[in-house]
Amino acid sequence: MTPETEGFNPQLSIQPSTPAGQVGAALADLDPDAILPRLQTRWMGRRYRYEEVTGSTQDVAKEEALAGAPEGTVVLANAQTAGRGRLQRSFITQPGQSLALSVLLRPQPRHLSPLTMVGALAVARAIEDTCGLHPALKWPNDVLLGGRKVAGILLEASSQGAAIGAAILGIGLNVSLRTDAYPEIAAIATSLAEQLDPAPPPERAALLVALLQALEDYYEALRRDRPIYDEWRQRLETIGRQVRVHVGSTTEEGLAEGVAPDGALLLRRADGSLLRLLAGDVTLRE
């Protein structure tokens, strides 16, 4: 989807990383020594960089890309001080409460737009496999449980002429975050812990292992030009709903009639005209 594929500047200021082994015992669930032996992927996450605290995993992943790191490199932080989502919104990442990771990919140009589909589908499958919950998706890139956002996807890319230099797929998943502690998101966000209560959420390591496997599977399908669009479309709760879409300073309203294979939203206006939107902020209308 073209949902926000944002460019990045190669001149980056990166905070020094915390060596992987220097984490407290309480935080060791995501340390490479705990994760790598559990992975069954062939290449996804085999280069795995853990940050106890960092500004944004997106920025660290860009540093990895500029240094020539291989495709499938994963940067994960136990906490972020400047985590961000689409439209430059902040993403709350408190220690031990979320999965916040960025994945370095080097796709063919025709595969760049659907990477957000890959991320959303992988998150949904990982939640199903570990929790038994059944997420829905909201166009363009939100994963929902009980009508509230439990995860979001951010895609940033750099180009080298006609080629894609690197794509950074960022994923933020609320695991044990108590959203009622944050009034600004309490009405629209949720976490696995809140949806599973009184049962506990799965351990973050199990979620991460399931997520990386799903990412590899969906990305491999995309590279082989196998369809993932139908599964993505079927999960979208946006389709068939009256919506309001904010695109920059413009607001469009109408019926979300469908989506195109490249991820564009097909919006039927009240006057009968059909608008094709590649990005925007959607609000479902009653």
- Report how far residue 180's alpha carbon sits from residue 3's, in angstroms, rounded to the nearest whole number: 29
Output the average pLDDT for the chain: 87
Query: Range with the lowest mean pLDDT among 53-67, 90-104, 173-187?
Result: 90-104
User: What CATH fold (topology level) applies to the domain 238-284?
Assistant: SH3 type barrels. (2.30.30)
**Total-model pTM:** 0.86
Alpha carbons within 13 A on the beta-carbon side of 182? 15
Whether the CB-CB separation of 77 and 27 falls below 8 Å is answered with: no
What does the pLDDT look like over 118-165, one tens digit per residue?
999 999 999 999 999 999 999 998 999 999 999 999 999 988 777 788
Query: Given this model, what pLDDT does residue 162 score?
Result: 73
- DSSP H helical segments within 93-223, as ranges? 115-131, 192-196, 204-223
What does the pLDDT look like over 84-126, one tens digit per residue?
554 445 566 778 899 999 999 999 999 998 999 999 999 999 9
Give start-end residues of each CATH 3.30.930.10 domain in the chain: 5-233
Alpha carbons within 13 A on the beta-carbon side of 39? 24
Position of tokens 């990412």?
215
Q: What CATH code is assigned to 5-233?
A: 3.30.930.10
Whether the CB-CB separation of 49 and 17 falls below 8 Å is answered with: yes
Three-state secondary structure call for residue 6: strand
- Report how far residue 110's alpha carbon sits from residue 101's, in angstroms, rounded to the nearest whole number: 24
Query: Given this model, what pLDDT does residue 81 score?
Result: 87
- Report how far residue 76's alpha carbon sits from residue 102's, in angstroms, rounded to the nearest whole number: 7
Residue 82 predicted with pLDDT over 90: no
Q: What is the mean pLDDT of residues 218-240?
A: 94
Give start-end residues of each CATH 2.30.30.100 domain in the chain: 238-284
Q: Please, what sign has the CA dihedral across residues 175, 179, 180, 182? A: positive
